[in-house]
């Protein structure tokens, strides 16, 4: 008899737990959305934060528009000297940094360098950083996702959702998993650089 009572109590508890309402999902932070017409010469553009802007490879006109809008530093994530922005930056006062990254193989060391450069500009109060790759979606996507997670406290799923909003190419299937495993504490920029 006692055994039947225990089974009955267990079933009642499980039924009650199943009927309980699940907590509401965490609200997704306000995100940016890609804009192809916001600045001339820059597609897939958005302001991620006051310090960090993103987009595809700008034209010469695009770099001039970015500088006029308040960008002081450009970080190019494309690989190879043939992909340097230096010829297009001629005549601007934009500081140029190239951190070559592979779309299919994120590297935590390169992401740390990227985050440190963005943080240096923020601390110095010297305008905004514009980060880009060729299309502003894959290398730029996972770099901005890491920024959201490390600097703004977003969850990996929130950052990955925004990454896909910016036309992230689904053939790079390993990148969301890389971001989910990312040790954000080790990527925090240091204060002394």
Rg (CA), the chain: 22
Distance CA 130, CA 58 (A): 10
Residue 23 in any domain: the answer is: no
Pair of tokens at residue 110: 């390169």
For residue 9, pLDDT over 50 is answered with: no
Residue 75 in domain: yes
What does the alpha-carbon distance between residue 50 and residue 64 come to, in Å, rounded to a whole number? 19
- Res. 11 pLDDT band, cuts 50 70 90: very low
Q: Does the pLDDT at position 147 exceed 90?
A: yes
pTM of the model: 0.81
Burial 141-150 (b: 16+ CB within 10 A, else e): bbbbbbbbbb
Q: Is residue 40 part of a domain?
A: yes
What is the tally of structural domains in the chain? 1
Q: Pairing mode, if any, of strands 128-132 and 52-55?
A: parallel
Give the tokens for residue 140.
């730029």
Residue 5 lies in a domain: no
**Mean pLDDT score, 33-57:** 93
For residue 112, give its domain range.
Answer: 30-180
Q: What is the pLDDT of residues 54-80, one digit of tens each?
A: 999 999 999 999 999 999 999 999 998
| Residue 8 domain flag | no
Question: Could you tell me the CATH number of the domain that includes residue 159?
Answer: 3.90.190.10
Q: Is residue 168 part of a domain?
A: yes
In-domain check, residue 6: no
Window from 56-65, 97-106, 151-160, 161-170 with minimum mean pLDDT = 161-170
| Nearest one of 138, 114, 112 to 56, comparing CA atoms | 138
State mean pLDDT over 128-133.
Answer: 97
Q: How many CB atoms lie within 10 A of CB 129?
A: 26
Cα torsion for 80, 86, 88, 91, to the nearest 10°?
180
């Amino acid at each position: 008899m006692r055994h039947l009572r225990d089974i009955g109590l267990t079933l009642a508890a499980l039924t009650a737990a199943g009927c309980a309402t699940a907590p509401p999902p965490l609200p997704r932070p306000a995100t940016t959305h890609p804009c192809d017409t916001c600045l001339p010469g820059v597609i897939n553009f958005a302001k991620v934060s006051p310090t960090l802007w993103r987009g595809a490879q700008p034209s010469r006109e695009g770099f001039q528009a970015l500088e006029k809008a308040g960008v002081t530093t450009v970080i190019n994530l494309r690989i190879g000297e043939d992909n340097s922005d230096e010829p297009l930056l001629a005549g601007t006062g934009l500081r140029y940094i190239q951190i070559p990254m592979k779309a299919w193989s994120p590297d935590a060391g390169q992401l740390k360098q990227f985050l440190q450069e963005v943080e240096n500009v923020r601390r110095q109060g010297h305008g905004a950083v514009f980060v880009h790759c060729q299309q502003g979606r894959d290398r730029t996507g996972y770099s901005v996702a890491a920024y959201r997670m490390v600097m703004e406290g977003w969850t990996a799923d929130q950052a990955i959702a925004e990454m896909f909003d910016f036309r992230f190419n689904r053939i790079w299937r390993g990148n969301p998993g890389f971001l989910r495993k990312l040790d954000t504490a080790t990527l925090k920029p240091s204060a002394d650089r």
